[in-house]
Chains A and B, each alone.
Chain A
Amino acid sequence: MPDTAQFEQLRIGTQPDEEEVAAYRRHTSELAIPVIVGVPFPAEMRLGALRDGRLRVVQPFRVRFSSEGPQVIAEAPEVEEFGFGSNPSEALTDLQRALAALYLSLDEEEQRLGPDLARVWHILQRKISRRR
């Protein structure tokens, strides 16, 4: 039977071992409690700023959160850009930086973009403007 420390390890940020959880529940007189897996975060949100003083978001980006092992991923699916971090805040900050870098690099190469990146650039131009 798992002890309290083992159960805490199961509860915090890891995928629960169902057999151990079931064994704990069979042998304890405490009420069953929900097992919290990972850090709860919203599945989706709108991003309205990029943390880059040169750029302003005029139309928010749709952002989807997911996790891959210990990493949290913030994805802007409209432009296929991603941010990563150990928590949603870090992932979102990374995404903001990536979106700003993408905008600035595609702006430089505007005349030489292939069809997919031209599509991405068109979306970015709708959603971001340069501050004067």
Chain B
Amino acid sequence: MTIKAQEFDRLVEKWGLRTRKTGDLHAWFEHDGKVITRTRRSMGSGDLPMQHSIRQQLKLNDEQMRAAIDCSLTRSGYVEILRAKGLIDPPP
């Protein structure tokens, strides 16, 4: 699958990822005050050359990544995926 820069940015905004611009755009997913996952994209527009690495860094499989890009995977859905992987503690 390909990811476009604007799709990445839309995902960042939808999930509320914290970002920092250096030479690239770095993005972190935080939950309950903890930094859980991170990824980055190169600056510029068009198709990103790093789809596989973005997916891997966000701890998603192909299907989940597609859902994230097409906006059907919500932030809470992503939290559940990370929780199932043991990357977020279960709710008290």
Contacts and interface: CB of A to CB of B under 8 A. Distances in A.
Contacts of B20: 105
Contacts, number: 52
Interface of A: 68-69, 71, 73, 75, 80, 82, 84, 97-98, 101-102, 105, 109, 112-117
The 3 closest A-B pairs by CB, nearest first: A82-B53, A114-B36, A71-B49
Given A113-B35, A114-B34, 9 more contacts: A68-B49, A80-B53, A82-B53, A98-B40, A105-B38, A114-B88, A116-B59, A116-B87, A117-B38
Interface in B12-43: 20, 22-24, 26, 28, 30-31, 33-38, 40, 42
B87 A115 contact: yes
B34 A113 contact: yes
B26 A105 contact: yes
Interface of B: 20, 22-24, 26, 28, 30-31, 33-38, 40, 42, 49-50, 52-53, 56-57, 59, 86-88
A68 B26 CA distance: 22
- Interface residues of A, dominant DSSP: mixed
A117 B50 contact: no
Given A101-B22, A114-B87, A84 B35 contact: no
Most buried by A among B23, B35, B40, B50: B35
Contacts of A98: 24, 40
A1 to B, nearest CB: 35
B74 to A, nearest CB: 19
Nearest to A109: B35
Contacts of A75: 53
A26 to B, nearest CB: 37
Contacts of A102: 38
Contacts of A101: 22, 24, 26, 40
